[in-house]
Amino acid sequence: MLTRLTGLLTLINALLFGGAAMAQDVTQTPIAGFPHAVLYTVGDQPKPVVVILHGADGNDEAGVRFGPILARMGYAAVGLPYYSPNWGEYGPPPKFPNLPGSFIDIRVDQIAELREALRGMAGADVERFGLFGASKGAEFALIAGSRYPWIDSIVAYAPTDVVWEGWGLEMVEAEGTRSSFSFNGRPLPFTPYRGFVEGLLAGPAADLRAIHENGRADHPDKAAAARIPVEAYPGNLLLIAGGRDAQWNASAAATTILETRTRAGLETTALIYPDAGHDLVGDGGVRQVERSGGSPEADAAARQDAWPKVVAFMARTLD
């Protein structure tokens, strides 16, 4: 705990008295076998690993943003790009053409391979291992936790309690047939959407929350089969959700996960902000994010309240 607190004080001093100078002390190291993945560290002493799992936006923005922050807090932070959207002629070219361009059958078991790739890298202690994910990244993290008992800590922003249908350009003609995630070469059972193609055509006017909720209502048996077995994850879990999330019903999912794990006697904390939306990662600031839900002010207040609790949770569960 003392190491974590020392890192936090260092970060505060950097922010107040010269963050530009502190930026130079973060080392960025590519990870062999994982295109575009980066290990962010400060110094060579072994530190707990925290893997950053982005949401549906894909690419590496989440790692670039939070990798240095977590590194200065005393972690071996890993930005793991695993998806780079490719909509062909209907969208911009993918940022990383050698990553999956569709969110279909994303390999959850790459987390175990990543852990082995990190073993022996300077600054990384893989025996203390955490996941930090938002939205689809939270879905990824919860699935991984239910399969790998060596994951010690998960922070899941805007979580879901089920695996969802995959998407991509090829799904326009094959709606409802593919999963978002796979494990050991097999697609995971998933909950289909209702109106995914119509939502693509509607663009920003699409009601993404309804697409998810209507799909769940249409397919209760498939939703039951797609339930993430969170009671199989023995580690520590922190959930953060907004009651007015416009992407999916994260607050209901967080409540369901909390109840399931509480019955199993597993440590779980849920921070639910009734007026907030989907954009809850970070430490405050009023910003408008498309399709977040809630209001910029409610999201900012939720971030400001949640971030110190996230920091304390990680320090307690990974030290």
User: What secondary structure does DSSP assign to 188-213, as a single string?
Assistant: PP-BPPSSHHHHHHHGGG--HHHHHH
Q: 27, 24, 23, 25: which is closest to 40 by C-alpha?
A: 27
How far out from the chain centre does Cα 133 lie? 2
Distance CA 211, CA 191 (A): 11
Distance CA 318, CA 230 (A): 19
Element (H, E) at 131: strand 124-134
The residue type of 82 is Y
The one-character DSSP state at 293 is B
Coil vs helix vs strand at 171: helix
Burial class from Cβ neighbours inside 10 Å (0-12, 13-18, 19+) for residue 176 reads middle
Q: 211, 208, 281, 214: which is closest to 242 by C-alpha?
A: 281
Domains of the chain: residue spans and CATH = 2-318 (3.40.50.1820)
For residue 3, the model assigns a pLDDT of 43
Quote the pTM value: 0.91
pLDDT in 10s for each residue of the chain, 319 residues: 434 434 443 443 333 323 433 444 999 999 999 999 999 999 989 999 999 999 999 999 999 999 999 999 999 999 999 999 999 988 899 999 999 999 999 999 999 999 999 998 999 999 999 999 999 999 999 999 999 999 999 999 999 999 999 999 888 778 899 999 999 999 999 999 999 888 877 888 889 999 999 999 999 999 999 999 999 999 999 999 999 999 999 999 999 999 999 999 999 999 999 999 999 999 977 776 667 898 999 999 999 999 999 999 999 999 8
Q: 153, 231, 139: which is closest to 188 by C-alpha?
A: 139
Element (H, E) at 242: strand 236-242
Distance CA 172, CA 90 (A): 12
The one-character DSSP state at 103 is B
